[in-house]
């Protein structure tokens, strides 16, 4: 019961202790000896457990083919995005995030040029690049049918 109440209060962000607990859970997964896709899927699943987001995915970047590829996904709704789904770098919010190497927080998708709605009814999207040695290796993508759903949570995902 308290957890449900916490979610309502925290829609704009989560408390510092809960952020630390979430980061700790993710860090424990990241240091385990898991293959890439199972590790990423477990991280996506943790994010799903902690937030009421409609869609969470992690995509790898393939510079040679100029594409990004979905490696792990959770969706509360039917979507065309499944593991191995791929698109060209620069297309949509994920492709632009991968290309620029910068976080893109779209509070209202109706105002974002080049938005690609693979979920149907997406109103906000947050894409965070995973960068190592100055190179974008992957993108963490979260989507919601609620505008401004990711306010106060950008820093957590960037961490």
Query: Mind listing the pLDDT tens digit for each residue in 42-101?
Result: 889 988 888 878 999 999 999 999 999 999 999 999 999 999 999 999 999 999 999 999
Residue-level pLDDT at 14: 55
What are the respective helix, strand and coil percentages of the chain, to the nearest 5?
35, 25, 40
HSE-CB of 54 using CA atoms within 13 angstroms: 19
The average pLDDT across 94-115 equals 94
Look up residue 11 and give its two tokens.
């829609």
Q: Which residue has the tokens 């109706």?
A: 110
So what's the pLDDT on residue 88? 96
- Asked if the model's pLDDT at residue 117 lies above 90, the reply is yes
């869609």: which residue's tokens? 55
Q: What's the number of CA atoms in the CB half-sphere (13 Å) around residue 102? A: 5
pLDDT of residue 152: 82
Q: To 10 degrees, the CA torsion angle through 42, 132, 54, 66?
A: -110
Residue-level pLDDT at 114 = 87
Contacts (Cβ under 8 Å, ≥6 apart) of 36: 60, 71
**pTM for this one?**
0.81
Q: Compute the distance between CA of residue 151 and CA of residue 12 in angstroms, rounded to an integer.
A: 5
Give tens-digit pLDDT for 28-53. 777 777 677 888 898 899 888 888 78
């Amino acid at each position: 019961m308290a957890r449900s109440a916490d979610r309502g209060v925290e829609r704009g962000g989560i408390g510092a202790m809960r952020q630390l607990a979430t980061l700790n859970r993710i860090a424990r997964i990241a240091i385990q000896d898991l293959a890439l896709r199972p590790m990423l899927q477990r991280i996506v699943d943790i994010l799903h457990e902690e937030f009421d987001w409609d869609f969470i995915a992690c995509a790898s970047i393939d510079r040679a083919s100029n594409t990004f590829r979905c490696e792990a996904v959770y969706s509360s709704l039917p979507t065309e995005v499944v593991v191995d789904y791929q698109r060209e770098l620069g297309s949509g919010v994920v492709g632009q995030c991968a290309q620029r190497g910068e976080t893109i927080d779209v509070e209202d998708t109706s105002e974002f040029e080049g938005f690609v709605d693979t979920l149907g009814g997406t109103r906000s999207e947050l894409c965070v690049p995973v960068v190592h040695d100055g190179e974008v290796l992957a993108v963490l993508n979260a989507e919601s049918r609620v505008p401004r759903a990711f306010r106060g949570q950008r820093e957590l995902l960037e961490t």
